[in-house]
Amino acid sequence: MNTGELRGKHGFEVFRAPVWHPKVKKLPDPMNYAEILFRFGYLNPSRLFDMVMGWKNILQVIAPDLAVFDHSPTANLGSRSISMKRAFFGTGFCAPPQMSPMPTIRPWVKTPSQRLQSIENRALQTINPVLERIDAPVLEKLMNLFDCDENFLKTFPELDHYQERGSV
């Protein structure tokens, strides 16, 4: 059943998720979560702003008491200026550990911490102007993207993408 059928048959409201479709070319293999974000609009503040505003508008219309995000960093950004509880639900990959700079996703490749910090700084240069435009608190560190009221990881420690997670 497609969403149009759900709406007509059951009266559900349907909202289209703001997503990034263009392919970003000529990027190196990602070393951490931030470099993955670069492939999905996080190198372009105006495009990121459009997606964040799309999520913010949807969340304002729905007005939930709690939003549960399953690997949706852009929706989470859109929620930062709205009074609501936030929870993450997903694998370890979806909610990286609260570390700065964010750890590598390729531990077998020796990556200088300066490179990881540079990547994180570049992501913040895109994200924070967007947050300022929507009157939301800026991120001091990229790990603050994953600040939430509750983080539900659905994985086993042995299968977690990040072995340095701590007591989550």
Least confident of 59-63, 92-96, 111-115, 131-135: 92-96
Instruction: Tell me what pLDDT residue 167 has.
Output: 64
Average pLDDT over residues 49-59: 96
pLDDT greater at residue 12 or residue 68: 68
Instruction: Tell me what pLDDT residue 168 has.
Output: 65
pLDDT greater at residue 83 or residue 107: 83
Question: Is the pLDDT at 144 greater than 90, yes or no?
Answer: yes
Contact between residue 80 and residue 135 where contact means Cβ atoms under 8 Å apart: no
Q: What is the DSSP letter of 92?
A: G
Instruction: Tell me what pLDDT residue 20 has.
Output: 83
* Rounded CA separation 60/55 (Å): 9
pTM of the model: 0.88
* Rounded CA separation 52/48 (Å): 6
Instruction: Tell me what pLDDT residue 96 has.
Output: 86
Please list, in sequence order, all residues whose beta carbon lies within 8 angstroms of the beta carbon of residue 117, skipping any fewer than 6 positions away.
Answer: 100, 101
Average pLDDT over residues 46-66: 96
- What residues pair up with 67 in beta bridges, in sequence order? 86
Name the CA radius of gyration of the chain, rounded.
17
Average pLDDT over residues 16-28: 84
Residue-wise pLDDT tens digits, 72-88: 999 999 999 999 999 99
